[in-house]
Amino acid sequence: MRGAGGAEGREAQLTSDAPMVLTAPGPGALQAAALPAERSVRRRARGGLGRHRARAGILLSVPALVLVLFVLIVPIGEAIYYSMTNWNGISAQWVGPSTYTSLFKDPVFWRVLENNGILLVSVPVALAIPLGIAALLHEHVWLWKLFRSLIFLPTAVSWVVIGMIAVRLFAPSGIVNYLLGLFGLARLQTDFLGHEYTAILAVALTFVWSMIGTNTIIFLTGMSTTDPAIYEAARLDGAGRWASFTQITVPMLKRYFQFTFVITMITAFTALFSLIFIMTGGGPGYGTTTLEFFVYQQAFDVGQFGTGAMLGVVLFVLLFGVSLVQLKLLREQQ
Amino acid sequence: MSAAAPGLARRRPAARRAPRGRFRTVWKEARRDPVKVVIFLLLLAVSAGMLYPFLFMILNSLRSENQYLSGTGFSTVSWGQLFANLPVGRELLNSTLVCVASIAIILALSSAAGYAFAKLRFRRQGLLFFAVIGSMMVPLQSIIIPVYVNFAHLHLINTYLGAILVYAGFGTPFATFLMTTFFRGLPDELTEAAACDGLGHAGSFFRVALPMAKPALATVAVLQFIQIWDDLLVGLLFLQEPTNRTITVGLGVLSSGRVVSVPVLMAGSLVSALPAVLVYLFFQRYLVAGLTLGVNR
């Protein structure tokens, strides 16, 4: 059965130069998948094949569920419970929801959220630059495929390695300070990682740089799905490059903006632990301690497992809230 | 615009035969549309900006501490120091072991569950689907403390199994989402026919659907490889012994521990980055497919 029709075709498609696009479900796939299934269960389960199918379905899906329960679902429940206790990892005393009110009164917590805020502000920059680069690549000039591969390269490199190099580039004798001097901005030269607000700036800049590859590729994919005939029509109507970019490309990429915004924000809030660990260790002071780094610090440096769990819950709720808003915005547009 | 004036890259077959002709075409194109020259130069500058940090890493790994400070000369002394300070071979082996085992679990679980969600009908299917896929929303930091304590009770800290289970569990929801999406794209007639023809639903999954899913499986594998290879947090907590550390964790610990010279760190960075970069070079399009899949979510 291996040669069964589509397999060959699909692989042939992969070896072509176009970026592979797997068939994706429409918005709201979560619900769409659930409903018709539930409805047809009773009707079909009576037949012999239906019962067989139901048994196969459970056999095939339960292993994944068990692992996810074990590593994600039960632990998030535990995190919510332990967030309301005084917990050192061995014994826990129940305190109650008042742990949250005392957290919200803690100025350190707000200082940490401020760092998350700064990273959030850098997200639009991490979208704007890749949008520009994708537009340049979409002109298909000489060697554009080589440029595309080079620009996408950092996606494969770990935050540890990127952080390790960034520390040297932001050092007093590093290239960033050298370039500032070169462009007559010598009074901005500083030991970036040595001061609270310049350190978070250095982390944010490194983060933006690292997201360029991923976001450029996503925008480029979006641009390549736009019908070339639209551009041709615009050109015949006398629209220049800039006009087609602002009037056609940007509006067509709306969905892609939402997607890159969400993944870039999730990255900023949940994937920068290693970068911060290597670049600054959260310092100076709380200068680069973001919420996710604070979780680690509270639990594994300070030994306050309860506080750590609570911060984890806050992070979860924060991301969940933003995703819900995002989903709602998407719905309203359709 | 590319439709009106076909991109130069597309003329490659002719150009391959006569390289001179290719450059002449480029030149002609440039004269006709000088903006393209500007765009080319801009892209050159952007690429330089993306490559500079890697160049910095490679060049400075080939210097001694003093050569790094003065910025002149080259030697391989730092590479010797790296191998003396860091059990590189062992750590690369650990990384490979953890990656391969985690990815194997993820592929097995996500393809089976994906098939069940896309092609089968059973009681509580919606609930199961929501539980597995919805877990994508849980950030690692939110569950890492309870998982750490649970695993400590089960004596899974500092075992490969512990780290593998965390990586596999954390990777499974997105992988299942990807596989469900893929299987939904296969025609029902195909899998139904196989099931009715006596293969049964398990047979239809193993013999019909799975062989067709190779591209999707490759996408999952590549995405997960890069994620797990590059991870620090899970490794830092679940594999703490120098003998079972992954290369990324070894490097992280090296940088934060005793003072080691910058060139040694750069050499270590290069070694740890190389496998993921090679995977990227060979399987770039699977990675791109995985990244852009969520757009229409």
Query: H or E segment at A94?
Result: strand A92-94
Residue ranges in chain A modelled with pLDDT below 50: 1-46
Nearest to A153 among B201, B233, B280 (CB): B280
Residues of chain B found within 8 Å of residue A139, distances taken between Cβ atoms: 1-2, 36, 39
Nearest to B285 among A20, A231, A320 (CB): A20
Distance of CA A303 to CAs A229, A276, A293, A299, Å?
62, 20, 14, 5
Contact A161 B269 (CB under 8 A): yes
Place of tokens 């935050």: A159
Q: Which structural domain, as residue segments, surrounds residue A203?
A: 101-333
Complex confidence, ipTM:
0.84
* A86 three-class SS: strand
Predicted confidence at residue A236, as pLDDT, reads 86
* B244 three-class SS: coil
Tell me whether A136 touches chain B (CB under 8 Å): yes
Question: What is d(CA A290, CA B66) in angstroms, rounded to the nearest whole number?
Answer: 36
Q: Work out how many CB contacts closer than 8 A connect A with B.
A: 419
Q: State the DSSP code for A52.
A: H
Q: State the DSSP code for A93.
A: E
Question: What is d(CA A304, CA A313) in angstroms, rounded to the nearest whole number?
Answer: 14
Contact B165 A70 (CB under 8 A): yes
Residues 6+ apart with CB under 8 A from B273: A156, A157, A158, A161, B57
- Domain assignment present for residue A4? The answer is no
Residues of chain A found within 8 Å of residue B248, distances taken between Cβ atoms: 158, 160, 274
Contact A157 B130 (CB under 8 A): no
Whether the pLDDT of residue B226 is over 60: the answer is: yes
- Count of domains in chain A? 1
Place of tokens 């990244």: B291
Mutate to test the interface with B, among A137, A138, A142, A252 (most CBs of B within 10 A): A142
Q: Is the dihedral of CA A20, B134, B176, A156 positive or negative?
A: positive
Whether the pLDDT of residue B3 is over 60: the answer is: no
Q: Burial, A320: exposed, middle or buried (Cβ in 10 Å; 0-12, 13-18, 19+)?
A: middle
Q: Is residue B46 very low, low, confident or very high in pLDDT (cuts 50, 70, 90)?
A: very high
Q: Higher confidence at residue B42 or residue A172?
A: B42
- Domain assignment present for residue A113? The answer is yes
Q: Is the dihedral of CA A138, A140, A142, A145 positive or negative?
A: positive
| Residue A261 distance to chain B (closest CA, Å) | 11
Tell me whether A165 touches chain B (CB under 8 Å): yes
Nearest to A136 among B43, B110, B211 (CB): B43
Mean pLDDT of chain B: 84
Tell me whether A160 touches chain B (CB under 8 Å): yes
Residue A304 — left, alpha, or beta (φ > 0 → left; ψ -120 to 50 → alpha)? beta
Contact A79 B142 (CB under 8 A): yes
Counting residues of chain B whose pLDDT is more than 90, the rounded percentage is: 45
| Residue B86 distance to chain A (closest CA, Å) | 15
Kindly report, residue by residue over B249-267, the tens digit of the pLDDT.
998 888 876 657 888 889 9
Domain positions in chain B are: 8-78, 82-296
Question: What is d(CA B125, CA A164) in angstroms, rounded to the nearest whole number?
Answer: 46
Predicted confidence at residue B224, as pLDDT, reads 92
Question: What is d(CA A101, CA A119) in angstroms, rounded to the nearest whole number?
Answer: 25
Kindly report, residue by residue over A68-124, the tens digit of the pLDDT.
999 999 999 999 999 998 888 788 788 888 889 888 999 999 999 999 999 999 999
| Residue B41 distance to chain A (closest CA, Å) | 10
Tell me whether B184 touches chain A (CB under 8 Å): yes
Show which of residues 65-104 on chain B sit within 8 Å of chain A, judged by CB atoms.
none
Residues of chain A found within 8 Å of residue B205, distances taken between Cβ atoms: 56, 60
Considering only the C-alpha atoms of chain A, give the largest distance between any 2 of them, rounded to a whole number of Å.
80
- Written as one letter, the residue type at B38 is V
- Domain assignment present for residue A78? The answer is no
Counting residues of chain B whose pLDDT is more than 70, the rounded percentage is: 90
Strand ranges (E), A21-170: 85-87, 92-94
Distance of CA B177 to CAs A14, A263, A307, B137, B158, Å?
21, 16, 32, 12, 30
Q: Burial, B4: exposed, middle or buried (Cβ in 10 Å; 0-12, 13-18, 19+)?
A: exposed
State the CB neighbour count (10 A cutoff) for residue B16.
Answer: 10
The average pLDDT across B212-237 equals 91
Predicted confidence at residue A175, as pLDDT, reads 87
* pTM for the full predicted model: 0.84
CATH classification (class only), B82-296:
mainly alpha
Q: At what angle do helices B125-134 and B88-119 cross, to 10 degrees?
A: 150
CATH code of residue A224 = 1.10.3720.10
- Domain assignment present for residue A226? The answer is yes
Question: What is d(CA A220, CA B239) in angstroms, rounded to the nearest whole number?
Answer: 39
Predicted confidence at residue B117, as pLDDT, reads 92
Question: What is d(CA B21, CA B88) in angstroms, rounded to the nearest whole number?
Answer: 49
Whether the pLDDT of residue B294 is over 70: the answer is: no
Kindly report, residue by residue over B150-173, the tens digit of the pLDDT.
999 999 999 999 999 999 999 999
Residue B282 is encoded by which pair of tokens?
């060979």
Predicted confidence at residue B166, as pLDDT, reads 96
